[in-house]
């Protein structure tokens, strides 16, 4: 054990050439932050520690996340920011966040934002005499602002139960432009695990399940690959050339939202006569093009190949292409398609009848 570091510290991180530790298994230190001497991660002096609002065994300090020049320190219901270039100039301030976070793997740095799991207190439940911090949402935060972005997947985030938690994980996936999440789970036995992917540009989530044959407990992005540390001690990675990953398929699609005839809504009916889609894919099956009219039911207009030169889909005369005041289109990607992307869509609209006055 490093000199001066009390036993049982579970969360550590490097910041400004110091190593910081929180989340003690000793009740006397649940509100304490300890940091090493400058450039000496094995030496911890008595002066290099401070407490953050000690309130008995409640609201303990349990999270660390470094992003640029700020070290976020998470309690189970609050977030603090530490800035400064050395121990002599460190300054601590409570940030305007109505939530907390735990661990040091449940947040990912995406530019100036930290995106990851927020927590709330569950004062009614304790484990080993300590409060249990419940996963509550996914949040994007900067030093002076925050936004909850996990409302669409709250059921998955909050479905964990009180017990011996495995830590939640979040990691930025640069070549896919998003954040990969493994929500926390209870217990230590090998089991299937839920996973989430957040596309940063569209704020859309994809949910799927990684089978018990993999049973990931950790992850790291290195050498342009996302690696998983597994329950059986093996390290596996996602293969971009494979049509699917181990686990259940999930449906992925792009939807347009309501489309109206230019200048005519709600006074002119129209139909979609033709569509041209520009895109690309590496291999696998091709996507499906569908149209929904006012009743909201999507009807397939057939499959098409994604091409950088554009693929024309002739829809005129199809039985399901009914004239309407507004329509929606959807492109559903094949479950075994590899790296399917849409760049642009053009539609030829045909007016039907005279405008309603």
Please state whether 58 falls in left (phi above 0), alpha (psi between -120 and 50) or beta.
beta
Q: What is the mean pLDDT of the chain?
A: 82
> ∠ at Cα 337 (250, 238), nearest 5°?
70
pLDDT of amino acid 249: 60
Report yes or no: 279 and 298 within 8 Å, Cβ to Cβ.
no
pLDDT of amino acid 266: 60
What percent of the chain has pLDDT above 90? 32
Q: Is the pLDDT of residue 36 over 70?
A: yes
pLDDT of amino acid 82: 95
pLDDT tens sequence across 112-133: 899 999 987 665 555 545 455 6
Q: Is the pLDDT of residue 136 over 90?
A: no
Dihedral angle over CA of 166, 55, 72, 3, nearest 10: -80
Q: Which long-range contacts (CB under 8 A, 24 or more apart) does 297-302 make?
A: 298/328, 298/330
d(CA 136, CA 183): 11
Q: In sequence order, what DSSP letters do the residues of 92-141 get, joined into one string?
A: EEE-S-S-B--BSSSEEEETTEEEEEEEEEEEEEEETTEEEEEEEEEEEE
List helix spans (H) across the chain.
Answer: 154-158
Q: Is the pLDDT of residue 152 over 80?
A: yes
Structure confidence at residue 140 as a pLDDT band (50, 70, 90):
very high
pLDDT of amino acid 163: 44
pLDDT of amino acid 288: 93
pLDDT of amino acid 311: 92
pLDDT tens sequence across 183-205: 876 555 656 778 899 998 888 89
pLDDT of amino acid 139: 95
| From 291-305, 313-327, 334-348, the region with the lowest mean pLDDT | 313-327
The mean pLDDT value for 294-309 works out to 88
Query: Which one, of 34, 166, 174, 196, lies nearest residue 102 by Cα?
Result: 166
User: Model's pTM, two decimal places?
Assistant: 0.69
pLDDT of amino acid 3: 52
The mean pLDDT value for 303-321 works out to 82
The mean pLDDT value for 285-294 works out to 88
DSSP 155: H
Q: Is the pLDDT of residue 219 over 60?
A: yes
pLDDT of amino acid 72: 96
C-beta atoms surrounding 283 within 10 Å: 12
Structure confidence at residue 299 as a pLDDT band (50, 70, 90):
confident
pLDDT of amino acid 309: 92
């Amino acid at each position: 054990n490093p000199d001066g570091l009390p036993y049982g510290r579970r969360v550590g991180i490097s910041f400004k050439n110091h190593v910081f530790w929180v989340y003690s298994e000793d009740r006397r230190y649940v509100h304490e932050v300890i940091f090493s001497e400058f450039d000496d991660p094995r030496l911890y002096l008595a002066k290099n520690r401070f407490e953050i609002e000690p309130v008995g065994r409640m609201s303990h300090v349990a999270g660390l996340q470094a992003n640029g020049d700020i070290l976020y320190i998470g309690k189970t219901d609050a977030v603090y920011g530490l800035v400064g270039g050395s121990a002599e100039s460190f300054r601590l301030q409570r940030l305007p966040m109505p939530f907390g976070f735990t661990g040091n793997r449940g947040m990912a740095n995406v530019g100036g934002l930290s995106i990851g799991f927020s927590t709330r207190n569950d004062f009614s439940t304790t484990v080993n005499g300590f409060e249990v911090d419940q996963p509550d949402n996914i949040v994007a935060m900067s030093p002076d602002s925050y936004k909850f972005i996990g409302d669409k997947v709250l059921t998955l985030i909050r479905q964990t139960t009180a017990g011996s938690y495995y830590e939640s994980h979040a990691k930025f996936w640069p070549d896919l432009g998003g954040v990969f999440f493994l929500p926390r789970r209870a217990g230590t036995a090998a089991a299937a695990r839920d996973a989430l992917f957040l596309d940063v540009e569209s704020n859309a989530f994809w949910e799927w399940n990684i089978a018990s044959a993999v049973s990931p407990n950790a992850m790291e992005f290195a050498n342009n690959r996302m690696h998983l540390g597994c329950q059986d001690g093996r390290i596996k990675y996602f293969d971009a050339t494979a049509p699917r990953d181990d686990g259940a398929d999930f449906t992925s699609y792009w939807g347009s939202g309501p489309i109206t005839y230019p200048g005519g809504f709600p006074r002119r009916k129209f139909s979609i006569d033709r569509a041209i889609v520009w895109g690309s894919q590496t291999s696998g099956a091709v996507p499906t093009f569908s149209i929904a009219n006012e009743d909201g039911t999507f009807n397939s207009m057939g499959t098409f190949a994604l091409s950088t030169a554009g693929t024309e889909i002739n829809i005129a005369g199809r039985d399901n292409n009914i004239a309407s005041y507004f329509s929606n289109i959807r492109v559903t990607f094949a479950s075994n398609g590899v790296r399917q992307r849409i760049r642009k869509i053009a539609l030829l609209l045909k007016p039907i009848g005279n405008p309603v006055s």
